[in-house]
Amino acid sequence: MNHKELDYGDWRIQTVAHVGADSYIPWTNQWVEKGTRLTVIATVNLTKRKTLSIPVPNATAIMLNAAAAAYDQAKQLRLNSGIDKSLKSSVMFDTDRSAIDYVERMIEAILMAFTAIEAFANETIPNDYTYSHHRSSKTILEISDKQKIERNLSLDEKLSIVLPEVIGCRSPKGTRSWESYRQLKNVRDRIVHMKTADRKSSGPDIDTVWKAILLTPAPHLLTRQILEHFISAMEEKPRWFLQVGNTQ
CA 107 to chain centre: 14
Q: Is residue 48 very low, low, confident or very high in pLDDT (cuts 50, 70, 90)?
A: very high
Beta bridge partners of 18: 37
* pTM of the predicted protein model: 0.84
Task: Give the pLDDT confidence of 230-246 residue by residue, as tens digits.
Answer: 999 998 888 888 776 55
Mean pLDDT calculated for residue range 132-149? 75
The answer to whether residue 1 scores a pLDDT higher than 50 is no
Mean pLDDT calculated for residue range 129-155? 80
Instruction: Look at residues 169, 171, 163, 170 and name the one whose alpha carbon lies nearest to residue 129.
Output: 163
Of 112-126, 130-144, 160-174, the one with minimum mean pLDDT is 130-144
Task: Give the pLDDT confidence of 174-220 residue by residue, as tens digits.
Answer: 999 999 999 999 999 999 999 888 877 777 788 899 999 999 999 99
Domain ranges of the chain: 3-55, 59-238
Which residues contact residue 122 at a Cβ distance below 8 angstroms, ignoring those fewer than 6 apart?
Answer: 150, 158
pLDDT at residue 135 in the model: 65
Q: Is residue 138 very low, low, confident or very high in pLDDT (cuts 50, 70, 90)?
A: low
> Ramachandran region of residue 223, left (φ > 0), alpha (ψ -120 to 50) or beta?
alpha
The whole-chain average pLDDT of the chain stands at 86
Instruction: Look at residues 206, 228, 185, 104 and name the one whose alpha carbon lies nearest to residue 244.
Output: 228
The answer to whether residue 86 scores a pLDDT higher than 80 is yes
Higher pLDDT, 223 or 25: 223
Instruction: Look at residues 129, 115, 122, 1 and name the one whose alpha carbon lies nearest to residue 63.
Output: 115
Q: Is residue 2 very low, low, confident or very high in pLDDT (cuts 50, 70, 90)?
A: very low
pLDDT at residue 10 in the model: 83
Mean pLDDT calculated for residue range 15-31? 62
Q: Is residue 68 very low, low, confident or very high in pLDDT (cuts 50, 70, 90)?
A: very high
